[in-house]
Amino acid sequence: MTGAPLISIITPTFNRTSIKKAIASSMYASRVQIEHIIVDDCSKKDYWDMLVDISKKFPDQLRVFRNAKNCGPGASRNFGLQQSSAKFIFFLDSDDFLAPEALESMVDEAEKSGSDIVIPMALRQDQKIHGNFLSIDACSGVPFSHCAAIKDLGPCKLFNRNFLIKNNLQFPSQRYWGEDQLFMLKAYLATSRISILTQNISLFLTEAGDNLTTKPKLEEVLDTIYEILVFSSHLDITDVRRILILRRIFNSDLRAITKFLENENKRWPHIDKYIHEKIMPFLDPVTSQFIDEDLKLLLYKHFT
């Protein structure tokens, strides 16, 4: 590679062998100058040795780092961002991979529209478009309130690096699940220019079983919901951005938890107590007008 990279790809990983495909997609599927920063979250020694061996094949493009202890995906991404030097950042999970020329199309859109965030069209392992809205709601350089970005709170997107640094945007470092959702909401609210690409598939979500984080506990999911509700509470209740967040959190995330609990043959008193004491206070008369009626009935039935 000659000259500075245009894109820094940042990938946290933990004993995930599918990272080989992620690396190959960045090394061979792009014509732009890139650096791929791998942050190993204190994996097994043989896994780290594998990463070092691969990096020797791409000495000018692939940089590997190893955490001294297991820190989680958020802290690993933050460290990768500190090591980056490119104009653009793309966070690529280690079980996903890029389509040919995906980075070029995202950079072209960012340069054309001045967008700080470019959301790629992604295909899931089950061959469904990730976030079905992506096949319909294309947008270019619009604010959060004018697009469907709220439906995608994952981190695998292109960012303007100066935008991240200027707004001091970092992933929560003490979380092992849900760290990306709060990061993305802060990023969405910090910019007036977001683009969503829908013309071609740019990202493949393989959803492999060797996840960097384990399957979340209900408490972890509720902690994330609570933190997002607290974060959004600084916005005026009439602000369309807060309304979008409330609708997403209640009608999607909290609905899934409520239905799961309703279908179980037992109750978890500590979960009921958590929702009653920490989540339900946000369901005030003003907020309730944005929540689906059937969900409100379920919430009032079980948690008041």
The token pair that represents 136 in the structure block: 């319909």
**Extents of the domains making up the chain:** 7-205, 218-303
pLDDT of residue 129: 60
Distance CA 153, CA 182 (A): 8
pLDDT of residue 196: 94
The rounded Cα 214 to chain-centroid distance in angstroms is 16
Distance CA 260, CA 10 (A): 34
pLDDT of residue 198: 86
Give the global pTM: 0.91
pLDDT of residue 60: 92
What are the tens digits of pLDDT across the range 45-64?
999 999 999 999 999 999 99
pLDDT of residue 174: 77
User: Has domain 7-205 been given CATH number 3.90.550.10?
Assistant: yes
What are the tens digits of pLDDT across the range 139-187?
999 999 999 999 899 999 999 999 999 999 999 987 778 889 999 999 9
The token pair that represents 196 in the structure block: 């969503």
Interval 6-24 mean pLDDT: 95
**Across 74-83, 96-105, 205-214, which has the greatest mean pLDDT?**
74-83
The three-state secondary structure class of 90 is strand
The token pair that represents 150 in the structure block: 């709220």
pLDDT of residue 209: 41
The three-state secondary structure class of 268 is coil
Cβ contacts of residue 139 below 8 Å, gap of 6+? Answer: 146, 147, 148, 194, 195, 196
